[in-house]
Amino acid sequence: MSKKAAVMKGDGIGPEVVDSMLKVLKECNFQSELILCEAGSEQWDKNGRKDASYIPDATMKTLEEADCCFKGPTTTIPVPGAPRSVAVTLRQKFDLYANIRPTKTYDRLTPDRKLDCVCFREATEGLYTGVEAKITDDAAIAIRKITRHGSRRLVDSAVDWANKFNMKKMVAITKRNILKQTDGIFWDETQKAVEGTGIELSEIYIDNMAQQMVIATEQFNGAVLVSTNLFMDIISELASALVGSIGLIYSANIGDNYAMFEAAHGSAPQFTGQNKVNPTATVLSGAWMADYMGEREIRDAIFDATEKVINEGKVVTWDIGGNASTTQMTDAIITYAKENLRK
């Protein structure tokens, strides 16, 4: 039986960029089955906002029966009583504890700055558990939960990545001078995880890390960056900015038995239907999904093709210095990817 991937096109520009990704995979002869299903605030609105989740029951059933899923950008409505985001719901549902965001610059876009690293963010605990309490009318507290189990499995997955891609440096981002107990646990488990691996481990405090990413970017080349939920949420966004456009940044949420792939950017409803947004992040996320499903050659062909299109600069979207449409850039990637697969 073929493997199955559930695909949610999402909101705003989601359907456009996901269609690009699906077209690229199809043209590259992707063999796993792709099953389309609905999720997001637009379908929630259309259904009268009566559901408790942005993910309909029928979609959740499809997700449960698939080997992995792809989530297009979705909108989380900031109103009281609205459901939690699709991404958070699925991270918790399938225990997708590692949010992984590879970050690599392109020669044409940042000729004077090179960055090639990967960010590992713990995605199930920390401040994002949302445990808060109102003490008085004037004060409230939030609980930062850090566990040895949660920390260790995140860093173990980062070590696996480092070994797979022959990366010899790991940087743990903490604020252990202030958060002695919680970041103390995270640092202890990180040290244990790298013992005997040959990986060079260093620790840097979050405030200094933000500065160092800007003023001495290349020191992090070849490094796996690991941190707790909030800190890595911030640093991975900063790293993405250094690349030149959030439209280039792809990501995955991976657990022991399931994975969700997605672009790092949002649904950008102001650009809906204009055929102008950058498809790169979604296309590369889809290529990564192909690798996860056992079709590594498709991943390699698409990654190489995308880098070539971006560095040539002839058929690229407005955010990276061109005037091509979404579909034109997608077709350019397909042309090179198919050439790569024929070699």
Summarised one tens digit per residue, pLDDT across range 222-257 is 999 999 999 999 999 999 999 988 899 999 999 999
> What is the percent of the chain where pLDDT is above 70?
100
Residues ≥6 apart with Cβ < 8 Å to 80: none
- The domain locations on the chain are 1-96+259-342, 110-243
List, as one string, the DSSP characters of 166-196: T--EEEEEE-TTT-TTHHHHHHHHHHHHHTT
Which fold, 1-96+259-342?
Isopropylmalate Dehydrogenase (3.40.718)
Summarised one tens digit per residue, pLDDT across range 126-144 is 998 878 999 999 999 999 9
Beta-carbon count within 10 A of 233 CB: 19
pLDDT at position 128, please?
A: 84
For range 29-51, the mean pLDDT = 93
Summarised one tens digit per residue, pLDDT across range 201-218 is 999 999 999 999 999 999
Topology alike, domains 1-96+259-342 and 110-243: yes
The 8-class DSSP code of residue 315 comes to S
Which CATH number is associated with domain 110-243?
Answer: 3.40.718.10
Rounded to whole angstroms, the Cα distance separating 79 from 167 reads 43
Q: Which residues pair with 69 in a beta bridge?
A: 6, 260
Q: Do the Cβ atoms of 54 and 74 come closer than 8 Å? A: yes
Q: Do the Cβ atoms of 221 and 117 come closer than 8 Å? A: yes
pLDDT at position 1, please?
A: 60
- The sign one gets for the Cα dihedral 197, 199, 203, 207 is negative
For range 15-39, the mean pLDDT = 97
Q: How confident is the model at residue 80 (pLDDT cuts 50, 70, 90)?
A: confident
Considering the entire predicted model, what is its pTM? 0.93
pLDDT at position 88, please?
A: 87
Summarised one tens digit per residue, pLDDT across range 295-325 is 999 999 999 999 999 999 999 999 999 999 9
Rounded to whole angstroms, the Cα distance separating 83 from 39 reads 12
pLDDT at 175 over 80: yes
Rounded to whole angstroms, the Cα distance separating 115 from 221 reads 5
The C-alpha R_g of the chain, in whole angstroms, comes to: 20
